[in-house]
Amino acid sequence: MVSMKKFIINDRFRKKELIKVKNKISLFNNYYKDIHFFNIPFSLIVGCLGVMKKGSVIFEMMDSFTTSMFSGGLLLSLYFFNTRYSNQYYFYINKGLSKWFLLLWCFSINFIIFIIYVVIKSNIL
């Protein structure tokens, strides 16, 4: 009987923790979308400018686009978000997500996308 009670309590605790983790993923997703509201159009422009380089049009465009997504485009987006909506960081801080956590995850995801692209490209060429 006691072990059954313990199991129920542990199960409830696990479910609560799972909801919290899901919630944090949704929060990060929202921040990521806000940041990329500027980053994606900006990086697309950079990608289009990359076409001017000699070589395959698609690869040159993708090179510039993916590089901008984790470097210049991301930095500019973060700068604009910091200057215009810096108070919105408290929305995430109140849910236990620090500013550095959000910034690092944004960078990491975009960098992983870049690495995947480089691997795919090197396999094709």
Which residues bind to other proteins, rule: CB under 8 A? 16, 19-20, 22-23, 26-27, 30, 34, 37, 85, 87-91, 93-96, 98
> Cβ closer to other proteins: 7 or 85?
85
Q: Which two tokens stand for residue 89?
A: 């960081």
Q: Which residues contact 107 (CB under 8 A, 6 or more apart)?
A: 70, 74
User: What's the closest the beta carbon of residue 24 comes to other proteins, in angstroms?
Assistant: 8
Judge whether 61 and 47 are in contact, CB under 8 Å: yes
User: What's the closest the beta carbon of residue 17 comes to other proteins, in angstroms?
Assistant: 10
> Cβ closer to other proteins: 54 or 84?
84
Output the CA angle 64-27-7, nearest 5 degrees. 130
CA distance 119 to 125: 10
> Cβ closer to other proteins: 27 or 76?
27
